[in-house]
Every structure is written in structure tokens, then in C-alpha cells.
Copies of this chain bind each other. A is one copy, B any other.
Amino acid sequence: MTKKTTIKDIADKLEVSPSSVSRALTNEPGVSDDLRERVFDAASRLNYIPNSSAKSLKTSRSKTVGLIVSDIRNPFFLDFMSGVERVLFPREYKFIVCNTGEDRKKEEIYIKWLIGQGVEGILSSPYQDGSNENNALLYRRAMKNNIPVVFYDRLLKEIKVIDSVTLDNRQAIMNGVMYLRECGHERIGICLHRRGIYTIEERYAGFLKACEILRIEVIEDWIIDDATDPVEASKRLKMILGRAHRPTALISTNQYINELLLRVARELKLSVPGELSLMGFDDLSLNDLVDPPITTIRQPVSDMGKIAATLLMGRIDGDSVDRSTVVLKAELLKRESVSVLSGP
């Protein structure tokens, strides 16, 4: 095991002072070209790698941001992260991924750790459960400590000072319901992933609103309000679909549910869309290779990532514009899992 090279090693080797080496390395003015060159040369020969702990301790700038994700297994984050990375990397910012797994405590641990790490900003999809428990306090504290936060995908309603990028979830579902209505569907159910989560609540609200406008009767029983346990959710779904009076169309609220719905339909040997229409949420490229290709509400996820990262970079650069709340539009990909009903 060799010791790591430090500025001091370079200084000793060149018989100059550490401060000159530092100046040379950071491209500060006030170093002769000759010395600068010799420093760079020695640095590369000695395999010098700057110690970011020391650097960030001294300058309190770490070129690092935190990315808090609610569930890393959700394909959503693949696209989101790649959007984020595309804006961060060219600016030499790195990001630390923190997976909270929808656990408030974990989120808390991570926020504190990120602040302690000296990140210059935080991108977060915050957690909030049915009982309104959340980490608003911690996000406020980060802001107070001059660490800008940008929320993406989800909001914390009580915080009115944090930039955000979200989807127009209500409108997205409303468009979906309207499309179903156009296709003749009046018996519509919805499968919510989990109550309390911002996006899910918004999507649910959009559903209710659309039903109201279109005078579609909302059947309590056709609303699955928790699909975190797929086995339980399947059971309920099967019960609902097993009855004579059953929905002709089901709306999903994320990619997990898309699959769940499809599987249940298969198990029940219900033909899709013949006997049951399905509308998905979140598009995976496989969704149109599925049997049948699923009509899906698609979010511009990668754009969301780029915008969130861009907002954050702006704040780090000291933009003092008003709070930005970007709301993106969803797109309805009409494929074949929704049937056109002829008569009533």
C-alpha cells in the first residue's frame, strides 16, 4: 500500500511551497507559467489526485448534489437519472443517489447525510404518507443552510418556497378518462398504487374530477386504493372482475400496476380489450410489444430530469428569481388495450 500523493509531496519534490502548488493546480493567477507547467508535470508523474474532503472542507463547495429517489427499482428513475446526468456531467457535477424506498426515516437519514457531505444542492421526490408525515422541516433546514432543493415528481404542499418539476397529473388522468368515455366506457375503475403519495393523490383527484364532469358514476368498490401488496390487490381485482356488474375499463397509476392489471386479466382469462379495457400509466418501451399493446399515459421523464437539474444548477449559480414550478404535460399513447364500445 502506497500513500496518496498530496500537494505537499509535489511541493517538496519541486522545492516550492504548497501554496504555489495549489495556485498552479487550481489555475489561479499569480504563478509563473514555468512553475505551473512543472507543477502539472510533477502532479501527473506522482499520480496526484486532489483530496475532495479537504477541498470541500476548506471551500465548502463540493461539486456534488444529492438525488433522493423514492424507489430505485422503478424504471422511472432510469430515465430521470439519465436526464439529470446529462446536465450535471458537463458541468463537472457529480450526484449521489439516495434510495428511500418510501421510508420517511430513511429519507431523513439521507438528507442529513447529504447535508453533512456538503452537497451543493438536493434533487428530491419527497415522501409523504397518508398521515401527512414528511420531512418538510429538513428540506427547510437545507434551504436555510444555503443548500437549494428542487422537488421533482412529487411536492410537499406545505412548502411554498422550493422549485419543482412535476407532471400535470390531474389533467393526465382526466384526458385518459375522457378518451375512455369517447370510446364508450362508462364503467371505469382505477387502481391506485398507494394513498398519500402526491402523484397518486393527484391522479385520483383527476379521476374523480373527470367522472364528475362526464357524469360517470364513481363506484367505491372499483377503486383499489392500495396495491403495494400485489397479492392482496390481485385478490380484490379478481373479486371485482368476477361479478356480473363489473367495470369495462380499468385505469392504472404506474408501471407496476400496468403489469398487475395485465396479469390479473390473463389469470381470469378475460380478453383485453374485448372484455376489459386497460389504460396504463408510465411507458416502458416494452409496453407496445405486450399483448395487446397497452394504451398508456406517458410522462416526459427524461425532460423532467433535465429540467430539475437545470433549475438546481441555476440556484447553485445564485439565481435569485422567484420560485419556479414547472408543470409538464403527459401524452396519451393510443394503442390497442382499449376497445370501442358500440351500444350501451
Contacts and interface: CB of A to CB of B under 8 A. Distances in A.
List the number of copies, as a whole number: 2
B116 A99 contact: no
Contacts of A112: 49
Contacts of A73: 78-79, 82
A117 interface: yes
Contacts of A49: 112, 115-116
Contacts of A106: 89
B289 A1 contact: no
A130 interface: no
B51 A116 contact: yes
A52 B145 contact: no
Given A57-B54, A117-B53, A146-B1, A96 B99 contact: no
Contacts of A259: 285-286, 289
Q: Which of A49, A146, A263, A284 has the most CB of B within 10 A?
A: A49
A228 interface: no
Interface residues of A, number: 54
A124 B2 CA distance: 22
Contact of A52 (B1, B50, B118, B146): B118
A290 interface: yes
Contacts of A117: 52-53
Contacts of A4: 115, 145
Given A81-B99, A262-B289, 10 more contacts: A49-B112, A52-B53, A73-B82, A74-B78, A94-B113, A96-B97, A97-B97, A259-B286, A263-B289, A284-B284
